[in-house]
Structure 1
């Protein structure tokens, strides 16, 4: 397996990094997060023009046929710049569900940046296991009736269309729901890392089935989303490590930089080891997914390692910066919160590391 980017993939990575460096520095990002919407429609439109919104979708559906490696190439810069726009929510989750079901109309709108699709999956159990989905879909002459609650729906408050996972005859199905449908109530809120999410209550909501037995399609969707989440976290880890190294080299006590103190030097070495371990696991997992050889154990190792190592890096960065590392004015705390928030999505590191022990 080849764990390096091709020239084309490196160019993609560089173009995304260059765009965000120019248009999305920390201050610009904070202005966007504090806005009423919490993310920038203008940035989203430019993502569409750059082809990023259509990147992971198959060419026969109008996309660019990007794979796991392309996902890593763009998600790492997203993490390094603390992207608030709903790329993972709309593309890796909602759009991927629409694509899996072959709904070309909504997929085209998503790829063009004209619609936000949100994937309503989580029910408050904090895992990625489809067996935990308990919402029932009841067939009627007009469609399907959904009753229950979905929690932590990323971009759920801004969505133009909801893709809902629910049980139908003891198997999962995917259902399209209009966010303005009768019986549906949305409670939006900001997450701790600056993104937007919603809890959505369904009271006899009418829905249309787009995929009654998605089977492995949901598992593949979740695995690819976990890869994107982990790549974003690794990007945040790299930026956090770089910023901490610069601070340790310039912050002086007793007339010398604190980076020359043995305890700080050892802490920086531990941060670098943790980052290299996390990124190596990420690249290895991406190669396995690209080759069609990734198992559920491989995905669990990736999510577990990334969350555990990311927490270590974030805590070490805050310790090195001291009290200022906890403030909103410095990006250190924001990186740490993004890493912690990503760890909680689709199963925490503790959940996935326990899962590793149950898989052969």
Structure 2
């Protein structure tokens, strides 16, 4: 397998990196996160113009047909610059769920998502940890030629900004069953929908969404028996999360190395101290190992050879190694590494938040032993 980016993929990566370097430095990012929206609609429009919002979707759906390597090429810079825009939420989760449908309604929403005209959010997590779709318990009862939806979804990324919600609910069976899951379109403004928005520890926007006897028509159904379609969506989202984390790890390593070579004690750079040098070496090895696992798993996914064990190894490794890199960066910087004025703490929080989504490192490393 060739683990290097092609010329086209490297050009894509360079263009995204150049845009973020010019328009999305740490101070600008802090201002964006602190704004009312919590993300930049100007940047989102630029992403649409660059084709990034249509990148992962196949050409039959109006997308660009990009693979996992193209996704990693842009997700690493996203992580390094702590992107606050809802790319993961609207493209990798909500948009990918819409792409599984064959109705005109889902196709129209997907077209708007790819064009940057709408935000889609996947309402999936239920608060007890549902890394496996079969664990979803929320029910959608058949009623009057449609569905009656009641229950609550938690940690819905971009849930407060969404123009459409794609809700994972159970039309039959019990939690633990693969059969009986469905994807349903819900208008966030519909009667019975209550949205409580908040900011996550890493600066992204999310929401808890409650459904109180929400009435849906038959046209709200995107896909029945959705478990088999959901798993690849979640696998690709995990890859995007891990690529972001690896990008953040690279930024932590670079900034910490630079700090160690310029910060002086006793008249010499602290990087010359054996303990700091060993810590930087450990950080470098952890980053290299995480990125190698990321690129290997990306190649497996693009070749159609990745299994559940490969995804679990990736998520477990990146979560564990990312924590090591982040904690080492903070320790090297000392107290200033914990402040909001320095990007180190924010990069570490992005790594921790990514680890918590879709099953943390402990869950996935335990899962490896069962596969």
| TM-score, normalised by the number of residues in structure 2 | 0.96
Aligned position for 2:247: 235
| 1:243-295 Cα deviation digits (max 9, x unpaired) | 00000000000000000000000000000000000000000000010011111
Q: Larger deviation: 325-334 or 132-141?
A: 132-141
Unaligned residue ranges in structure 1 (runs of 5+): none
- Aligned-residue offset at 1:142: 4.0
* Contact preservation (8 Å) 1:127, 1:351: no
Distance 1:191 1:104 in 2: 30
* Contact preservation (8 Å) 2:100, 2:222: no
2:264 to 235, 252, 265: 252
Output aligned runs, 1:56-205, within 5 Å. 56-102=56-102, 103-170=106-173, 171-205=180-214
| 1:23-53 Cα deviation digits (max 9, x unpaired) | 0000000000000010011110110000000
SS of 1:28 mapped into structure 2: helix
The Cα RMSD (Å) is 0.7
Aligned position for 1:296: 308
Tell me, yes or no, if structure 1 residue 210 matches structure 2 residue 222. yes
| 1:167-221 Cα deviation digits (max 9, x unpaired) | 1122110000000011110000000000000000011112321101223210000
- Aligned-residue offset at 1:127: 3.6
Aligned position for 2:294: 282
Aligned position for 1:337: 349
1:322 to 327, 334, 346: 334
* Contact preservation (8 Å) 1:147, 1:204: yes
Distance 2:225 2:359 in 1: 23
Aligned position for 1:346: 358
Distance 2:172 2:351 in 1: 37
| 1:280-321 Cα deviation digits (max 9, x unpaired) | 000000001001111101000000000000000000000000
* Contact preservation (8 Å) 2:58, 2:66: yes
Work out the number of aligned pairs and report it. 359
- Aligned-residue offset at 1:126: 2.4
Could you list the runs of 4 or more consecutive aligned residues of structure 1 that deviate by over 4 angstroms after TM superposition? none
* Contact preservation (8 Å) 1:121, 1:165: yes
Distance 2:352 2:172 in 1: 36
Distance 1:16 1:339 in 2: 20
Distance 1:275 1:126 in 2: 27
Unaligned residue ranges in structure 2 (runs of 5+): 174-179
Distance 1:177 1:127 in 2: 20
Output aligned runs, 1:219-234, within 5 Å. 219-234=231-246
Distance 2:276 2:128 in 1: 38
* Contact preservation (8 Å) 1:125, 1:132: no
